Amino acid sequence: MTNPLYDRLFAPLAGSDAPLLRFADGTTLSGDAFLAMAHRAAAALRVCGVTPGDRVAAQVEKTPEALALYAGCVIAGAVFLPLNPGYTPAEVGYFLVDAAPRLLVSDPRAVDASTALAAAHGTRVESLDAAGAGSFRRLCERQPDHGPVAVRADDDLAALLYTSGTTGRAKGAMLSQRNLLSNAETLAAAWRFGADDVLLHALPIFHTHGLFVATHTVLASGASMLFLPGFDRDALLRLLPQASVLMGVPTFYTRLLDDARFDRALIAHMRLFVSGSAPLLAETHRAFEARTGHRILERYGMTETNMNTSNPYAGERRAGTVGPPLPGVEIAIVDPEHGTPLAQGETGMVLVRGPNVCRGYWNQPEKTREAFRADGFFVTGDLGYLDADRYLVLVGRQSDLIISGGFNVYPKEVEQVLDDVPGVRESAVIGVPHPDFGEAVLAVLVAEPGARLDARADAETGRGVAATVAATETALETVLEPALEAAIRAALDRSLARYKQPKALVWVPALPRNAMGKVQKALLRERYAGHFADSAIAAR
Ligand code: AMP
C-alpha cells in the first residue's frame, strides 16, 4: 500500500529538525513542522468532503500554507489544480466548469466573486490570503498533525495544470504520480542536488517550474529552500550569499545583470544557476559568464511533459541550446507536416517520450489524440533541431512560425541577428498579415537604454528617424539614431536572405511578458495585425 509521491518526497521529512523552508527574515520551518502542516491540510481537505481523485483548485498567493495545501492534496490523494492569482473570476469560472473541483481555495479578496460561481458548480470555497491566513487555515488548525495517507498508484493523477495556451481554450495537463516523481529523481541527480543545497526559490508555485522543478528537486534531495513570495531584485541580492542554487526564468538573469551590485563576490559560493520556461539569449549567457564566471545551465520543459532536456552539470553548457535529452527521456525531430523523421541538424517538430510526459488533456480526448502519436511520442508544438552532439536547439513554437510569400521564417534566427546588433536590447519577431506576402516579418525591438534619443533633441537637430512606439498604456514618440536602424539593416543584409528580413521595425519600451517571463507573441500579433494594411492605406 503506497503513495509514491508521499513515500519518496514527504515521508522522509518526518522527525527532521533541519530547515526545509527558510524565509527572508531569517526564520525557518523544519521538515517535520512542514509535514505536520501538510497532514493538517490533508485532514482539512477531508473535512471539506475531498476524496481521492477529487480536484482541489487553489488560486492563492505563494505562502508556506499554499505549499502545504499541495502536500495535503498528495496525502489525501486529491488532484492539485493551481491557478494564477491574476486570473479574473470569469477565467476561474472556466476552470470550475472544466475541472469540477470539490474545493476551491481562494484569496479572500476573490472569495465573494468565486462563491457565487462555485455554488453553481457544487464547489465549496475556503479562503487563504497572502499571509497564509483565512478560513482554510482556521480549519487546518483544528486538525491533527498526522493521519492516514491515501493509497495511490503510479498512474493516478496528482496534479492538473492548465497550460498557458495562447490560442483556444486552456487545456488541463493530467500529471500522474509517476510523471512528477520520475522527473524529480532525474533532476535531483542531473543537477547534483544534495542535503546541503539551499535553493533560492523566487518563482511562482502555480506553474510547473516553481511547483515541481524547484520544490520537488529540493524534496527529493533533502535540501532546503529560501522561500520568497516572488521575484524581488533587492531581496535576491541580499539573500544570494545564503543560497547555493538559483532557478529562474531568463528575466531573473537579465534583471540581476542590470544591477552593478550583482558581482562575483556576492555569489562566491553559489554552485548552480538554472534557467528555463523561456529562451535565454545567448548574449545573456555570455554576459553572465563574463560577470560571474558561472555558465547558466539552461533546460527545456513544458507543463505537459515536465523537463525534457538539460545542459549538463559537468559537461559543456552551450549557449543558445537547451542541452541533450535527460536520462530516460527520448527526443525525436520530425517533419511537422508528415511526421517523418528528419536527419540530424534539420529543423522540425520536437517530439518527446518518457515517464515524464503527461497522460493527456483533461476532458479533451480529441486534443489528447492530436497531441500523441501512435508510437507514444508527444507532439510538443516546439520547432527545433539536434546539433552534432544531440544538444537541442529550439527555434520557436510552431504557432510562431512565419510563412512569408510561401517561405518559412523561424523567428529565433532573425531575433539572434537583431539581438547581436549593439544598441538592441532584445527583440521579438512575428508574422502579421500582409497584402502581398500573406504574412510579413515584423520585428518588435527594445533599444538599450542609451540608444534612444529624446524626441525634442531630434526636433532641434533634425537628426534621427521618428518611430511610433506602441507602448502598453501610452503611445510615446521615440527617436532613434539613424545609425542604429542602419546598423540593423546592415546586419540583416549580411546574415539573412531577403525573405527572412523584417519588412518593418517597431520600437517599444519593453516586450509584453507573462508571469513566467515568456514573450507574449500572440498579443504582439494582435497589436500589429493591421500594421501593413494600415501602412498600405497611409501610403495611398
Ligand atoms: P509552459 O507549459 O508554460 O512551461 O511552456 C512550455 C513552453 O515554454 C515550451 O513548449 C517552450 O516553447 C518554452 N520553453 C520552455 N523552456 C524553454 C527554454 N529553455 N528555451 C526556449 N523555450 C522554452
Residue 535's pLDDT band (cuts 50, 70, 90): low
Per residue in 122-151, pLDDT tens?
899 999 999 999 999 999 999 999 999 999
Which of 174, 300, 516, 519 is the best mutation target for the ligand 1 pocket, counting ligand atoms within 8 Å of the beta carbon and taking the most?
A: 300
Phi and psi at residue 507, in whole multiples of 5°?
-110, 135
With a 6 Å cutoff on the Cβ, whether 306 touches ligand 1 is no
Q: Which three cell numbers stand for residue 343?
A: 536527419
Mean pLDDT of 252-275: 96
pLDDT at 67: 98
Q: Is the pLDDT score of 479 beyond 90?
A: no
Per residue in 286-316, pLDDT tens?
999 999 999 999 999 999 999 999 999 999 9
Per residue in 233-262, pLDDT tens?
999 999 999 999 999 999 999 999 999 999
pLDDT at 121: 84
- What is d(CA 9, CA 125) in angstroms, rounded to the nearest whole number? 28
pLDDT at 437: 84
Q: Which atom, in ligand 1's list, is nearest to the CA of 275?
A: 19
pLDDT at 164: 63
* Average pLDDT score over the chain: 91
pLDDT at 428: 97
- What is d(CA 497, CA 487) in angstroms, rounded to the nearest whole number? 16
What is the DSSP code string of 435-487? TTTEEEEEEEEEE-GGGEEPHHHHHHH--SEEEEEE-SSSEEEEEE-HHHHHH
Lowest mean pLDDT among 85-89, 199-203, 470-474: 470-474
- The residue nearest atom 6 of ligand 1, judged by CA position, is 302
Residue 470's pLDDT band (cuts 50, 70, 90): very low
With a 6 Å cutoff on the Cβ, whether 321 touches ligand 1 is no
Q: How far is the CA of 301 from the centre of ligand 1 (A)?
A: 6
Of 176, 50, 178, 52, nearest in space to 124 by CA: 50
The C-alpha angle 53, 189, 202, rounded to 5 degrees, equals 70
Residue 539's pLDDT band (cuts 50, 70, 90): low
Report pTM.
Answer: 0.88
Q: How far is the CA of 163 from the centre of ligand 1 (A)?
A: 11
Per residue in 8-30, pLDDT tens?
999 999 999 999 999 999 999 99
Q: Which three cell numbers stand for residue 218?
A: 529540493
Mean pLDDT of 420-439: 92
Which of 309, 415, 516, 518 is the best mutation target for the ligand 1 pocket, counting ligand atoms within 8 Å of the beta carbon and taking the most?
A: 518
Per residue in 311-357, pLDDT tens?
999 999 999 999 999 999 999 999 999 999 999 999 999 999 999 99
Mean pLDDT of 157-171: 81
With a 6 Å cutoff on the Cβ, whether 279 touches ligand 1 is yes
Q: How far is the CA of 302 from the centre of ligand 1 (A)?
A: 5
Q: How far is the CA of 380 from the centre of ligand 1 (A)?
A: 10
Residue 392's pLDDT band (cuts 50, 70, 90): very high
